[in-house]
Amino acid sequence: MSHVIAQPTEDPADPLVILSDLPEPEREEFLRQYHQAVDAAHDPADYQLLQRLLHVWSVTAVAAGQPGYYEELAAARAGTSTTVPVIDVIPDWAERVAAAKDWR
């Protein structure tokens, strides 16, 4: 009988994972914001800010690692990027927005 040993997966919100996944130009800013959030997280009321920051940077690491990311970012900032209306991408968008407003 063979045994399968589960291998732990990396937590994408782990600061070391984020740092290793981020392109070099993003690392300094990540570390600056991370250290600031860690300092604030000493107050339990601000702990969620650290969690949110790690989530945002984990998503940023994935996005920034995609080919063409910086070119698309520059085009978006310049107002020259190709855009698609959200209702064309998510057909039930209006219903989702209405449901979110009702949920509040």
Cβ atoms of residues 16 and 30 within 8 Å = no
Higher local confidence (pLDDT), 9 or 101: 101
Higher-scoring residue by pLDDT: 8, 31: 31
Evaluate whether 103 touches 61 at the Cβ level (below 8 Å). Answer: no
pLDDT score for 44: 87
90 touches 96 (CB < 8 A): yes
The whole-number pLDDT of residue 74 equals 95
Residue 22 CA to chain centroid, in angstroms? 11
DSSP string, 31-45: HHHHHHHHHHTTSGG
3 compared with 25, residue with greater pLDDT: 25
Query: Are the C-beta atoms of residues 97 and 86 closer than 8 Å to each other?
Result: no
Mean pLDDT of the chain: 90
Q: Is the pLDDT of residue 5 over 70?
A: no
Q: What are phi and psi of 78, to 5 degrees?
A: -85, -10
Share of the chain above pLDDT 90, in %: 62
